[in-house]
Amino acid sequence: MTSGFTIFAGTANAALAASIARQLGVGLGACGIERFPDGEVAVRLLEPVRRKEVFLVQPTSPPVNDNLVELLALADACRRAAAARITAVLPYFGYARADKRHGCREPITGRVIADLLEAVGIDHVVTVDLHAPQIEGFFHLPVDSLTAMPTLCRALRDRLPSDAVVVSPDAGRTRLATQYAQCLGAPVVVLHKQRESGTETHVTHVIGDVSNRPCLIVDDIISTGGTLAESVTALLNAGARPEIIIAATHGLLLQGVRDKLVDPAIREVLVTDSVSVTEQNWPQLRVASIAPLIADALERFLTDGTLGDLYKANASNPVADKEKKKHASTALS
Ligand code: R5P
C-alpha cells in the first residue's frame, strides 16, 4: 500500500518539474543535489519517501552523462529509502539516437541506458516523443512514451498559412510528419537526408511538391541545427515560399544553432520545454510547455486511469477537422 506521492526534480529542468508539481497542486519534494569538486554528484533526499509513489523528473539532456548519473543517484536514494514505486520522468531521453549498431564493434548505448535505469530500481519510465519507438523494447519495465504533437499543433493553430505543407526532414520522421499533417489538415513532403557525420548532413531529394508553398518542418530533436538548416536550403531551392516554420519536441539547441537558423525565411522555431531552454535574444524562438501533458499522465497513474489517449498523436484535433478531410491524402507523387 502506498502513502501519497512526491515529485523530485533533478537539476536538468527544475522549472518543468515545478510546473508539473504546481499543476498537480503539490510542491516539489525536498532534496539536495551538489557536485563535488572532482565532478562527482552528491544527492540527498531531505524528506522521507517510505511507501510513497515517487516521480523523478529529469531529462537526460546535455550535459547528458551528468544528468543521467544524477537521475541514477536519485533513484538509488529513493530505493534505499523504501519508496513504494519509482517512476523516472525523462521528458527527453538522451542516447535514444544510439538505438542500433551501424557497424561492427559498436555499442547500442540506448540499451545500456535502459539497463542502468532498471539496475537502480526504477519501476516505470515516462518519456515524450521517444526518438525511436523500439527503444521501449530495451526495457523489461513499463515505458510510457507520450507525444507532444497535439501540444505543438495547438501552439501552431492560427499561425500556419492555410496552404502550408508539412515537411519531414528525413525518412525517419515521415510517420511523425504524417501525424502532424493529419492533425493540421495539410499535405506531406519528405526530404531524403544523408548523414555524413555527427554534425554534417546533406539533403539529396525533395519528395513532393513545395512550389510556392509555405512549409512546416517537423522533427523530434534540434541539436546542432544542421538537419534543419539543410532542409531549409533544400526547400527554398525546390521553390518553397520563403515562409518556413520549424516545430520540434526537444530543443537541445547546442551552441551555434541560432547562427545556423538565421535564414530570414525561417519565421518561427517552436520547441517544447522538455529540455530547459535558456536561449535568449532569438525572437523567432517560441516554447510550448508540456507540463500539462505530463501532469495529466501522472494524475492518471495516481488514479489508475488509462493513458491511451495521451499516446495517440491524433487524440485531440486542435486544428481544422474539415481541412483534415479535404487534405486526407499526401502531396507525395
Ligand atoms: C535525426 O534522426 C533526428 O530526428 C534529428 O533530425 C537530428 O538528431 C537533429 O540533429 P541536428 O540538429 O544536429 O541535425
Cα angle 250-252-255, degrees, rounded to a multiple of 5: 155
Residue 36 has pLDDT above 60, yes or no: yes
224: CA distance to ligand 1 center in Å? Answer: 8
Q: Which of 258, 224, 261 is nearest to 245 (CA)?
A: 261
Q: What is the pLDDT of residues 256-274, one digit of tens each?
A: 999 999 999 999 999 999 9
Instruction: Choose the catalytic residue: 52, 100, 193, 326.
Output: 193
Confidence of residue 310 (pLDDT cuts 50, 70, 90): confident
Q: Whose CA is nearest to atom 2 of ligand 1?
A: 172
Would you call 322 a catalytic residue per the annotation? no
Q: What is the pLDDT of residues 174-189, one digit of tens each?
A: 999 999 999 999 999 9
Q: What is the pLDDT of residues 55-112, one digit of tens each?
A: 999 999 999 999 999 999 999 999 999 999 999 999 999 999 999 999 999 999 999 9
Residue 315 has pLDDT above 70, yes or no: no
The pLDDT, as a whole number, for residue 324 is 42
The pLDDT, as a whole number, for residue 86 is 98
Atom of ligand 1 nearest to the CA of 222: 12
Ligand 1 binding pocket mutation candidate from 167, 219, 231, 250 (most atoms within 8 A of CB): 219
**How many CA atoms lie less than 13 Å away from 256 in the CB half-sphere?**
6
Q: What is the pLDDT of residues 127-153, one digit of tens each?
A: 999 999 999 999 999 999 999 999 999
Residue 197 has pLDDT above 90, yes or no: no
The pLDDT, as a whole number, for residue 313 is 53
The pLDDT, as a whole number, for residue 329 is 37
Contact 171, 177 (CB under 8 A): no
Name the residue with cell 538522451: 94
The pLDDT, as a whole number, for residue 201 is 77
105: CA distance to ligand 1 center in Å? Answer: 23
223: CA distance to ligand 1 center in Å? Answer: 6
Report d(CA 275, CA 58) in Å as an integer.
9
The pLDDT, as a whole number, for residue 312 is 62
* Spatial CB neighbours of 70, under 8 Å, sequence gap ≥ 6: 10, 11, 12, 33, 41, 43, 58
Residue 326 has pLDDT above 50, yes or no: no
Residues with beta carbon inside 6 Å of ligand 1? Answer: 97, 169, 172-173, 201, 219-227
User: What pTM does this model have?
Assistant: 0.91
The pLDDT, as a whole number, for residue 158 is 85
